[in-house]
Structure 1
């Protein structure tokens, strides 16, 4: 015997389906949420063990400065935090010498 739901009987099935999908979506969001809160990274002059000694606008310039530092016996690496920006990072014990070399560096 069919259930009489009045004149809106064609909305009962899809309505129940939408409610069940909504409950399922909320449950899955809760179940698979990260247990640790998201931490936004704040810009800092120091990144872990490395210290930023120069920020350049071109990748080629940063690679050239890195080569100059390497010739002076200073280990360095590059980081690209944004488009058209390259940071040169060194260990803290080499930072003063690296900054001195970076100050005299001209890419030409």
Structure 2
């Protein structure tokens, strides 16, 4: 009889180990994954998920640039800054937004 109990205990321990490994594999964090960018909450110039792509002196200029970005499929917003207006986009769209903002307007 002791062999049956020992087999049952070892089987339970083995199953528990398999379940723990499966959970670790499913929900664990790998060391090869880079940590996400976390902005400093104490930084007064921080914009959270948004990054400044351009700064212009007038609101009309900011709205023109924002509409160009919207036409290109890039989400953008306008914010006030010291003596001007800031055009803000998501960090993932920053490279594309710089291309759109710095290209010449339509030629006639």
Coarse TM-score class (shorter-chain normalised): 0.5 to 0.7
Q: Which runs of 5+ in 1 are unaligned?
A: 1-38
Q: What SS does the corresponding residue of 1:53 show, helix, strand or coil? A: strand
The answer for the alignment partner of 1:60 in structure 2 is 60
Match of 2:97 in 1: 98
Separation in structure 1 between the aligned mates of residue 57 and residue 105 of structure 2, nearest angstrom: 13
Larger radius of gyration: 1
Cα drift, residue 82 of structure 1? 2.4
**What CA distance in whole angstroms lies between the structure 1 residues aligned with 2:105 and 2:95?**
18
CA distance in structure 2 between the aligned counterparts of 1:40 and 1:89, rounded to whole angstroms: 17
Secondary structure (helix, strand or coil) at the match of 1:60 reads: helix
Give the alignment's TM-score, normalised by structure 2. 0.54
The CA distance in 1 between the partners of 2:85 and 2:104, in whole Å, is 15
Give me the whole-angstrom Cα distance separating, in 1, the residues matched to 2:85 and 2:54.
8
TM-score (norm 1): 0.54
Runs of 4+ in 1 over 6 A off after TM superposition: none
Cα displacement (A) at 1:60: 0.3
Contact preservation (8 Å) 1:65, 1:105: no
For structure 2, list consecutive stretches of 5 or more residues without a partner in the other structure.
1-41
